[in-house]
Structure 1
Amino acid sequence: MCLGIPVQVIDCGEHFARCRGRAGEVDIDIRLVGVQAPGTWLLCFLDAAREVIPAERAAAVNAALAALSAVDAGATDLSAFFADLDREPQLPEFLRMQTP
């Protein structure tokens, strides 16, 4: 399985960017997303950026990855990692339109 990891651009060249993420600083291939400004968040797979994402999504993905690490360490209460779980689940808009 390949997991997307959020990283934040520190410095950017034409084909690679120096970024900071969960594992520290890494060089990321940016040829699919183009040159990005410092501070931009990227979702990366195998050290290649696949998508430019907002900071809020980066935080949510990082929380989910932290939850995976916590489960691996034996944790069973994951409520601290998913702030939106204290609400009633909502159907996506396209499914809401199909229900009577």
Structure 2
Amino acid sequence: MCLGIPVQVIESGEHFARCLGQGGQEVRVDLALVGPQAPGTWLMTFLDAAREVISADHARMVNDALAALQAAERGETNFDAFFADLDREPQLPEFLRKAHP
């Protein structure tokens, strides 16, 4: 499985950027699909290659979801802090509601 990881550009060259990732880790990111980017730009990366430019809000939501995955791995069960933007109870998709009344 491959997860998209948001990173923020620190310094950009023509083909690669130096970026800040999760936990303050610096990563070298391939810019072949998005071109050179200004410092401060957020990128969605897969295997250290930028696939798209994203907003700071999108990066925050993805980072919160990744933090929730890490919390689940630790055995935590309260995820309210990670999904504060949700103002409703989670619901099963329609196709699963029919299968499990």
- TM bracket, shorter-chain basis: 0.7 to 0.9
- Kindly report which structure 2 residues correspond to 1:86-97, keeping only aligned pairs within 5 A, or say none: 86-87=87-88
Show the counterpart of 1:8: 8
What is the Cα-based RMSD across aligned positions, in Å? Answer: 1.2
Cα distance in structure 2, aligned partners of 1:88 and 1:79: 11
Identity of aligned residues (%): 70
Show the counterpart of 1:71: 72
Show the counterpart of 2:45: 44
Structure 1 spans left out of the alignment, 5+ residues: 90-100
After TM superposition, the score normalised by the length of structure 1 is: 0.85
Show the counterpart of 1:55: 56
Cα distance in structure 2, aligned partners of 1:59 and 1:15: 25
Structure 2 spans left out of the alignment, 5+ residues: 91-101
After TM superposition, the score normalised by the length of structure 2 is: 0.84
Residues 24-45 of structure 1, C-alpha deviations (whole Å, 9 max, x = no match): 0000001100000000000000
Name the amino acid aligned to 1:74.
Answer: G
